[in-house]
Structure 1
């Protein structure tokens, strides 16, 4: 006699999952299809487990052939359930063996052999036997069930641990958890065969899968009848093998400002109405609401892209009635993909789409077309991001030094420390490319601190006075300048290398002067520790002479653009400005001097220091020391 205690609750819960599956919107992706397959397989196994057990307990009512048929069907589906859990991990998490033929052999061989043995039981005794008297008994190949289960569970763990660096920790531990539950279930079934308990552990595995991978709330936007950004990434991955899919997106222009004007509640209602319009107008397309007024439509055929864009634009030419007395007047800016693009890299396509939507706010055009060049730009940005991450994590940000020359005698007076990083091939990446990225991803703080420490270390290890250097300038980004503990952190580094603060001049750009109160507070705090400040890139931002008058800078560096503009078209503005700075007790540095004529021109208008390629390009710290240490 078998113990059926766990059967009814198992069946009720599985059926509830099945109803819940069809009651919510689902993406047509492999993840959901595999989960549905697991649900149906487990319901079938549960039904056949009960049916075969009951018939075997009451053999007098059934023929030997029927008993053999229903029991064989159970073992066939039992093996299919084993395989379906393995396929879920292998396909959904994209964990594959690299060799296709070997992968196929490893993946299918044991399952096929096991199923053939189970099917053969219809005609002869393999897994079980049924005597002419309808007595059921295990037969010599019965343990193929555990061999098959053990094989695919072992294979799952091997793949998971081999590929753990290629998936998120969350996915890794989730997959590990439900497979560990299955291991426990098969172990208990082996030692307690009369208790129909394996279905319970399969159900527990399904619950873990649902919580971690399948809960529809993870893929739905709470503000609209649409899928969210996570769902977008998932569907684009499914579209990697499709040619010329339809991907059209748009953003509500000035969304955040309009949200303040109309109120959040009215804008949320507007978002809902836009989503409803898209659902009714394009029922066959997948609808996504990404965030901050960003929508996307995805389908399999790009031929209707222009037509759809025109139809949506036409609808936006009318108001959206949020309430009976409120009309929302909104403008949509569009992003489309060129028809000849390669969609095989879903991550690249997703990044391009989200980046383009963000950039539309700064463009006058209402339509952005993503081309191969756009994707190359995204790929280049990704490459630089990796280089920034690697440089910061491995403390490999290099310090280059560019000399600052005294305009009186053209002798070395100081130097500016400049950060440099390299790509995977060892080539230098231009600072104009990696600095903005480091500022956006928050790595600029660590990078700036590494540069400050490198400058202190250089001063500690070299006789800079012998070189003619009185100070080294170190740049502070506006983001770094906001740190309330900046003074404390830099002071500790000075103490570590026994360097006087007066030998380090901190350069800040005009962007840092937007919040004047914070600027004053931070400068005063750091000046109390002996730090001195230089205003960098004057003329490229927000500052004016009146504000500079109240700031304790010791030097103002003229941006290279205004230096070049003056050299190309001399006027009285820059000379007057330089003299004004000198009367305010600032010294003045001209950046970007590249010719003797520019050097003499800047000297003649009163600049105290000169910096540029005429004297030297930025040099690696070691080369700088070798060149100027011999003077």
Structure 2
């Protein structure tokens, strides 16, 4: 029968049809992302399957039956061929946001060749077309349309290459090259049914590399994962908007440490099943580390949804014979909140999750004020990165004086970040940003280098100082090569180690790597100082176990004493002195404070009473001899 139709080889065609049916079956039986891209891919597969089936039907018809065959069946076939190739471009247009290059007119204009083809065959139907004529026309049109739409799709892939991962780009390019290869081969071998095979192979590549549902499922909870969340909000932020809420399991990381990861994770499957069952109106995502987000397409009462969630979490979760209670905190997106980009939304949600983890934090709403706060944080991080890249951070010095005479003895180096307008951004803003991003390591080394440069140029000698204190962040202590890096800078400027005192908080000293780093730095000859004593769990017995030379009492402890005097601070100073530490009191703002702290036995003072932190050049003018 096929030989009578003039077709010498149908093996490629017969291979394509079952592959397409299998892909369609598995795709339909998996949870799909609520995306235009997902719908476009489904339409592409459905039409391709219909075209393959219709092509098989037409090939099975005996040539002598062509006159009696309804011409509209042939018209439908060719219309399907046109739509099949057009839907390929529509899929790439949705997957790569082709609308950004012309809005809805992109799809409307590119539909014109399809409309022209349908209008051409509409009055003719299938009348007068022999099977060989149909095959020749099919080969010509399929190849021409594939080249046109695949070419447009390749242009889109190139334009959006930076916004996509390597895997997505590789999948897109590979599938389109397969399509073009099929069109090329079909042109030279029109009697062999290559077209459907190559086209289905391209769909299969897209399925494996881009649209595979398993890429977007977190296997422990069976919820959608972070990659899916990124894609969905990227799609929603430009169409229907973002509506939903997130929640965190408080003390999740602590629970994993205390009870073990397998014990805590064994309940995640139950939580994921509950969210899928009870919050079916939305799409639930698991974003790792006990963080969840439920996204809705249509507005709902988020207060009612979170109240329902809290009621469930008041009861225990069970896994086998084990049970556990989890405390949660929810962050609700205010209705109508506008985000300028996907990155901005991700940053806001991430910041809200961090806030939700704080002890005592209750449910809160992410509104305009919170959005402005996060935008400010993002701006400061960007400004910090620019300053680090240009090495333009400013180093200020604040004098440290002898308690009895007020004579300048040393100074503390403090880093300052300048805005574009010249104003100074508070360290309370950019230091946490530097620590959370890891940039504090670069920052610390730049400050250390500028202090060494100041000393080498004679700044310390001109001011009659003995040393300059430089802060060492706990994050810096995580780097095992910290002593080597500091030594490399110091040697480059030929500065004696005794001129450089290193300050580190007690929490940093007792944190990961802290004790070993302090010991290594002490052996090299650096003087180590405890900074911000009194702000954490500091006490005499704890600092006694660490080889420090001096202690700086935090200004909050000093101010608290002068607001409400009691024996605590005098006794603390005495006990630290008895242990052999030199004591520096921070936050000295009046003559009375200086006099009484001196009577307590403090060795050095630092505070606004003597000077605010000032730039190095101003410091040199003020104290230089």
C-alpha contact (below 8 Å) 1:266/1:322 kept by paired residues: no
In 1, Cα distance between equivalents of 2:327 and 2:462: 64
2:503 is the alignment partner of 1:500: no
SS in structure 1 of the partner of residue 465 of structure 2 = coil
Equivalent in the alignment of 2:412: 416
**1:120 offset after TM fit, Å?**
0.9
Aligned positions of 1:80-479 closer than 5 A: 80-97=83-100, 100=102, 104-105=104-105, 107-123=107-123, 136=133, 148-240=145-237, 247-255=244-252, 267-268=264-265, 270-323=267-320, 326-342=322-338, 346-422=342-418, 427-479=423-475
Q: Measure the CA separation in 2 of the matches of 1:225 and 1:427.
A: 49
DSSP-derived class of the 2:237 partner: helix
Map Cα deviations across residues 338-365 of structure 1 (whole Å, 9 max, x no partner). Answer: 3453467554444444443443343335
Q: Report the alpha carbon displacement of residue 62 of structure 1 after superposing the two structures with TM.
A: 0.4
CA drift at 1:217: 1.8
Q: Which runs of 5+ in 2 are unaligned?
A: 1-5
Larger deviation, residues 147-156 vs 19-28? 147-156
Task: Provide closer, same or farther for how the CA distance between residues 78 and 422 of structure 1 changes in structure 2, counting only shifts above 3 A.
Answer: farther
Structure 1 residue 10 corresponds to structure 2 residue 5? no
Q: Would you say 1:559 and 2:563 are equivalent positions?
A: no
State the Cα distance separating 1:476 from its structure 2 match.
0.8
**2:67 alignment partner in structure 1:** 63
Secondary structure of 1:214's counterpart equals: coil
Is the contact made by 2:16 and 2:201 (CA closer than 8 Å) also made in structure 1? no
Residues 582-593 of structure 1: pairs in structure 2 closer than 5 A: 582-593=577-588
Contact (CA 8 Å) 1:64, 1:130: kept in 2 or not?
Answer: no
Distance in 2 of aligned mates of 1:186 and 1:122: 25
Give, in whole Å, the separation in 2 of the partners of 1:30 and 1:116. Answer: 26
CA distance 1:225–1:579, shift in 2 (3 Å): closer
Residue by residue over 1:86-135, the C-alpha shift from the partner in whole angstroms, topping out at 9 and shown as x without a partner, is 3333322335545x4xx55555434413531343133369xxx9868776
- CA–CA distance in 2 between the matches of 1:284 and 1:463? 68
Cα deviation, 1:579-629, whole Å, max 9, x if unaligned, reads 444454433323233445444554454433333334443334455455555
1:19 aligns with 2:14: no
> 2:218 is paired with a residue of what secondary structure?
coil
Summarize deviations over 1:173-202 as a string: whole Å, max 9, x none: 443333333333333334443333233333
Q: Distance in 1 between matches of 2:455 and 2:445?
A: 15
- Provide the rounded CA distance (Å) in 2 between the counterparts of 1:445 and 1:481: 9
Question: 1:595 & 1:162 partners in 2: Cα distance?
Answer: 63
Q: Contact 1:110/1:148 (CA < 8 Å) preserved in 2?
A: no
Alignment partner of 1:613 out of 604, 608, 612: 608
Residue 542 of structure 1: CA displacement?
A: 2.4
Residues in 1 aligned to 2:269 and 2:138: alpha-carbon distance in whole angstroms: 60
Q: CA deviation at 1:434?
A: 1.9
Deviation at 1:240, TM superposition (A): 2.8
Give the equivalent residue in structure 1 for 2:81: 78
CA contact (8 A) 1:556 1:589 kept: yes
TM-score (norm: length of structure 2): 0.85
Query: What displacement does 1:472 show?
Result: 2.4
Give the direction of change, closer, same or farther, for the CA distance of 1:593–1:93 in structure 2 (3 Å limit): farther
Instruction: Report deviation, 1:382.
Output: 2.6
Q: Secondary structure at the match of 1:484?
A: coil
Cα distance in 2 between the residues matched to 1:524 and 1:251: 39
Higher mean C-alpha deviation, range 327-336 or range 85-94: 327-336
Return the match for 2:544 from 540, 543, 549.
549
8 A contact 1:174–1:208 mirrored in 2: yes
Q: Residue 455 and residue 36 in structure 1: after superposition, are their counterparts in 2 closer, same or farther (change >3 A)?
A: same
- Partners of 2:171 and 2:90 in 1: CA distance: 15
Number of aligned residue pairs: 619
Shift of 1:16: 0.8
Separation in 2, partners of 1:79, 1:317: 57
Partner-residue secondary structure (3-state), 1:469? coil
Mean alpha-carbon deviation: is it higher for 479-488 or for 573-582? 573-582
Q: Quick one: structure 1 residues 74 and 134, their matched pair in 2 at CA, closer, same or farther if it must change by over 3 Å?
A: closer
Deviation of the 1:256 alpha carbon: 5.0
What are the superposed Cα offsets for residues 365-399 of structure 1, whole Å, 9 maximum, x if unpaired?
55333332222223323333333444445544443
Contact in 2 for aligned 1:130/1:136 (Cα 8 Å): no
How much is the aligned-residue C-alpha RMSD, in angstroms? 3.7
Shift of 1:508: 0.4
Q: Measure, in 2, the Cα distance between the counterparts of 1:227 and 1:140.
A: 45
Displacement of 1:244 in angstroms is 8.4
- Unaligned runs of at least 5 residues, structure 1: none
Task: Indicate conservation of the 8 Å contact 1:4/1:195, yes or no.
Answer: yes
Using the TM superposition, give the Cα deviation of residue 254 of structure 1 relative to its aligned residue in structure 2, in angstroms. Answer: 4.1
Alignment TM-score, normalising by the size of structure 1: 0.85
Judge which range, 426-435 or 476-485, deviates more.
426-435
Structure 1 CA distance for aligned equivalents of residues 540 and 260 of structure 2: 40
Structure 1 distance, partners of 2:221, 2:557, is: 50
* Corresponding residue number in structure 1 for 2:3: none
